[in-house]
Amino acid sequence: MKGEQGMQRVLVKIAVVVVAVFAVTSGCALFEDERTAKGRKLYHHYCMHCHGESGRQQEGFNWERMPDPRPRDLSESASMSTFSDKEIFDTISRDMRDTSLQAVLDDENYFAVSTMPTFKYTLSEEELWAVVGYVRTLHGGSLTFDVDGRKAELESRFQAVTAEHDQAKQVMEEALEKQEAEEDDEDMDMEDEEDDLENYEEEEEEIVLPEEEAYEKVAEQFEAAKTALENFSKRPKISQISRPDLTVVEPERVTLQEKGKNLYFNKYGCNGCHSIGDVGGLVGPALDRAGFRLNDTWVYRWVRYPQGMKKHTRMPNLGLDDGDARAVTAYLETLRAPKPDKPIPPPE
Ligand code: HEC
Ligand code: HEC
């Protein structure tokens, strides 16, 4: 009898320990809603190396190697709770701007830290909100922004614009038909007249109808609403980046390289994740020898759309356009450090 009771007690103890260990290791994931759980996963993949698992300073393996300003403490409620959900959203999904320009530094509405990457071109809007929600939990808060309401708003906007679009299209088509019929009539009249070349050319001139202009406008709004709705649930996709012609006329090469260097440090903060010599982050490979190791066409296509070449890479798409990608590629070409004597130990 005694043995059996003892056994039961041991089993209960084991069960308690198992549940406790599970709750701790999963960070109490048992009590998380679906969106926060998604945000946690994304945070672990895209943010943790710099911000640390619990958002504290010095926690992420890259923190020590970051240039100033280093990532702030996301677990600190006093300062973090002064940001609205929307403000955090805007920070993580802003467009990168050149922080060597005074106008950018002076813009109070812009978060001008180049080494905090944007995720606008990497994640869907829904995923961005999930990350904001998870960041909130790091300082004991929760998301108050109405994400479902936002989706509904995008949907109803899309429906409204679709209706407007279809109507404007119909109006335009009717107007075009009418115009064509009138032109045919005029042509018939003209056949009776003498061959007047000048007059004929004038007739050929394209007349843009107000209905066509109105349609163009609505069509633009329609495309914008469609993209906004698509990007809400789907990650932004770019059609394949085609192979560029990277030939540079010699006197322009140096200017391009200098422009690329500035973009590397001051606009896209590549140094937050990559090192050159002893300086810079450790999230991505060191780029000291990029000029030897990497093919420029490959680099161009990689920096424009890393996800197109490696779907789940930790390197976000930073939104480089053709010109910026050319400049950055030209700069990386200049990185030709000699081979190290000793192999560099891999980061932890
Ligand atoms: C390459 C390192 C790096 C990565 C990756 C990174 N951050 Fe940051 N983050 C920074 C730096 C640097 C700052 C600027 C210093 C500061 O204010 O914390 C910053 C600032 C922030 C801030 C504070 C903004 C403010 O207004 O002060 C938030 C919130 C934030 N990051 C969230 C994120 C989230 C969420 C992710 C992942 C989706 C992420 N960060 C990924 C480096 C990084
Ligand atoms: C948030 C961190 C982060 C930022 C910011 C970042 N990278 Fe990366 N980068 C990575 C990671 C991680 C890899 C490794 C890719 C992989 O295999 O998934 C990488 C890979 C690369 C490679 C290939 C290197 C090799 O040896 O294979 C190049 C080139 C590169 N990045 C250039 C850039 C440039 C240029 C910028 C700025 C425009 C930049 N990166 C910004 C994280 C980052």
| Phi and psi torsions of 170, nearest 5° | -65, -45
**Looking at domain 250-333, what is its CATH homologous superfamily?**
Cytochrome c-like domain (1.10.760.10)
User: Does ligand 2 have an atom closer than 6 angstroms to the CB of 294?
Assistant: yes
- Contact present, 171 and 179 (Cβ < 8 Å): no
Residue 336 has pLDDT above 80, yes or no: yes
- Mean pLDDT value of segment 261-278: 97
Of 266, 273, 332, the one to substitute when testing ligand 2's pocket (max ligand atoms within 8 A of C-beta) is: 273
- Contact present, 268 and 114 (Cβ < 8 Å): yes
The letter for the amino acid at 14 is I
Q: What DSSP letter does each residue of 198-265 carry, written as one string?
A: HHHHHHHS----HHHHHHHHHHHHHHHHHHHHHHHHS------PPPP-----HHHHHHHHHHHHHIII
pLDDT tens, residue by residue, 4-23: 677 777 776 766 666 555 54
CA-proximal residue: ligand 2, atom 25 (nearest)? 285
Q: Look at residues 282, 278, 293 and name the one whose alpha carbon lies nearest to residue 346.
A: 282
Alpha carbon distance 88, 145 (integer Å): 11
Residue 196 has pLDDT above 70, yes or no: no
Instruction: Report which bound ligand comes closest to the CA of 265.
Output: 2
Residue-level pLDDT at 3: 60
Q: How confident is the model at residue 323 (pLDDT cuts 50, 70, 90)?
A: very high
- Contact present, 135 and 55 (Cβ < 8 Å): yes
CATH top class, domain 31-138: mainly alpha
Alpha carbon distance 148, 151 (integer Å): 5
Of 45, 51, 75, the one to substitute when testing ligand 1's pocket (max ligand atoms within 8 A of C-beta) is: 51
User: Does ligand 1 have an atom closer than 6 angstroms to the CB of 50?
Assistant: yes
Alpha carbon distance 242, 67 (integer Å): 34
Instruction: Report which bound ligand comes closest to the CA of 137.
Output: 1
User: Does ligand 2 have an atom closer than 6 angstroms to the CB of 86?
Assistant: no
Q: How confident is the model at residue 327 (pLDDT cuts 50, 70, 90)?
A: very high
pLDDT tens, residue by residue, 279-290: 999 999 999 999
Lowest average pLDDT, out of 80-84, 206-210, 216-220, goes to 206-210
pLDDT tens, residue by residue, 30-74: 567 999 999 999 999 999 999 999 999 899 999 999 999 999 999
